[in-house]
Amino acid sequence: MTTESVMEAQARTERFADLFAHRRWIRRSQPFPHVYARDVFVPGFYQRMTDDLAQVRRDRPELFGQVATNYSADGVALAELRDTSLAVFASREWHDLVAGIAGVTATGDVEGSVHHHGPGAPYGWPHNDLNPAWFPGAAPGPDEVRLPDNSVVNTKFGTRESGVPARESVRAVAVLFYLGNPGWQPGEGGETALYDNLAEGEKMPELTLIPPLDNSLILFEVTPRTWHTFAGGNIKDRNSVVMWVHRTKDEAIERWGGDRIVYW
């Protein structure tokens, strides 16, 4: 890296740090290890994100599609938001911050989207996010990130034209950032449910509800026991950024065992 590029990287890092309101992020051990934070971004930048999301929904509604056939949210991929302030979630600085907090060696691959649940959305299904993802091309460099491109490589299944290079990685850190839910109050639904444990054949365990408060987040290393879901029952629109950084498949197998990876 040249002297000029080092200076540019330092300036970029300083600008990134200026986006945060404070560093009082709380580590919690129950029901599984996670980090919780309120007032994540400074008010001006948070407002830019909500304004940008509203503008994209108003001006480019064709970008929003159903997230999954059995899931009540529609969404827009981070790859479609690179010309907005929401691109912060697809930056190398954010990738490195998230991986560092979780203590994970991440690949530079970022997967995610903004999810929108309309009023009255149903309860989701418990899942742990220990899933694979395929990314096109060579591994990103130390200052880059790679986003999925389903037009080249199917993100979930890796299907592609013959000769097209792709890499399989496994979700390593999950982040849920809540925005565009002004004035949320207890009883209005739409929380994220975290489960203490969820073994096959057992009764539903105790759960912790994370409220969808604006400008707050939850972050956790993805493991076989990070069971969570959308708790449903929201009486108003509920919006969030849902994203992951990844680790290599070899590391995931070494850490958890290949049989613990949940294929689609």
Which of 241, 243, 245, 244 is CA-nearest to residue 116? 241
Q: Determine the Cα–Cα distance for residues 162 and 145; give it in Å rounded to an integer.
A: 24
* 214: DSSP letter: T
Q: Which of these ranges, 140-144, 150-154, 199-203, 221-225, has the smallest mean pLDDT?
A: 199-203
Residue 134, pLDDT score: 97
pLDDT band at 245 (very low <50, low <70, confident <90, very high): very high
Share the mean pLDDT of the chain.
Answer: 92
φ, ψ dihedrals at 140, nearest 5°:
-65, 155
- Which one-letter amino acid corresponds to residue 237? D
Span 214-228, mean pLDDT?
97
Residue 70, pLDDT score: 77
| CA-based R_g, the chain, Å | 18
Cβ atoms 220, 32 nearer than 8 A: yes
Which pLDDT tens digit goes with each residue over 169-197? 999 999 999 999 999 999 999 999 999 87
For the cut 60, the answer to whether the pLDDT of residue 201 exceeds it is no
For the cut 50, the answer to whether the pLDDT of residue 115 exceeds it is yes
Residues with Cβ within 8 Å of residue 203, at least 6 apart in sequence: none
Question: How many residues make up the chain in this entry?
Answer: 264
Which pLDDT tens digit goes with each residue over 1-55? 444 555 566 677 778 999 999 878 999 999 999 999 999 999 999 999 999 999 9
What is the model's pTM? 0.94
